[in-house]
Copies of this chain bind each other. A is one copy, B any other.
Amino acid sequence: MKIGYIQMEPAFLDREANLDHAAEMLEKAKDADIIVLPELFNTGYNFQGKKEVNALAEDAETGVTSTLLQEIAKENDQYIAAGYAERIGDKIYNSQLLVGPGGFINSYQKVHLFCNEKKFFEPGKSIGVIDLGEARVGQMVCFDWFFPECMRTLMLKGADIILHSANLVLPYCPNSMVTRCLENRVFAVTCNRIGEEHGLGFIGMSQITATDGGIMHRAPESSEETWIEEVNPLLARNKDMNELNNIIRDRAVGAYDLR
């Protein structure tokens, strides 16, 4: 199956422009079975106050962003994962929407909030896996990668492919995804953004990583890019490293103290 990302440069607070731009880039990603967009692709990231994000937060199923992505997913017969600000009652989350040919599927609320995000968003409370039939996917937003427990939980719940929307500002994630995929024997699509907002620069380098930690493709640092790779998600279900090691059976759960 074909998995990919759209590394783009969102325009800060200009949702209409971002939806148009994403729709245009998605035109060139029609072949993808699963396509990932950056964290907060429709609003930009570096909010200077809660008012800004409050004005753009949306409902997961009926919001303007969700509605558009559902239309495109249906039209292209594909799954789309995309970061957005989600409103649930009077709370706002840094979420990743997942839609497919049949419409809305899930909204994942980012569990590990980075820095100023804590001023604007509530943290999510659960980490789960969605079975799409052809593959089981785990959803993750940006800083979630930093905590090994997050992808570990997704792997143990059966994820084959991690859909990772990001707005990376620190340099570590792309190389660390090699370790994350290797230790969990899963695929990952890390979709980052480019550009700068109020002095905060984003590093690009979106990446598709294989179950053996191989970097299938890494995007440039400062230009937009749509990229698609062919993968066999079932490879992620074989957790044998060699004849004697299996990365799930070899976990020494009794020796760990992870409270």
Contacts and interface: CB of A to CB of B under 8 A. Distances in A.
A200 interface: no
Copies of the polypeptide in the assembly: 2
Contacts of A251: 147, 149
B178 A244 contact: no
Contacts of A111: 252, 255
A156 B258 CA distance: 7
Interface in A147-173: 147-150, 152-153, 156-157, 172
Q: How large is the interface on A (under 10, 10 to 19, 20 to 34, 35 or more residues)?
A: 35 or more
Interface majority SS (helix, strand, loop, mixed), chain A? loop
A258 B175 contact: no
A213 B183 CA distance: 18
A256 B152 contact: yes
Given A111-B252, A112-B252, 14 more contacts: A114-B245, A123-B252, A124-B255, A127-B255, A146-B182, A146-B247, A147-B183, A149-B152, A150-B252, A156-B259, A172-B179, A176-B183, A179-B180, A253-B259
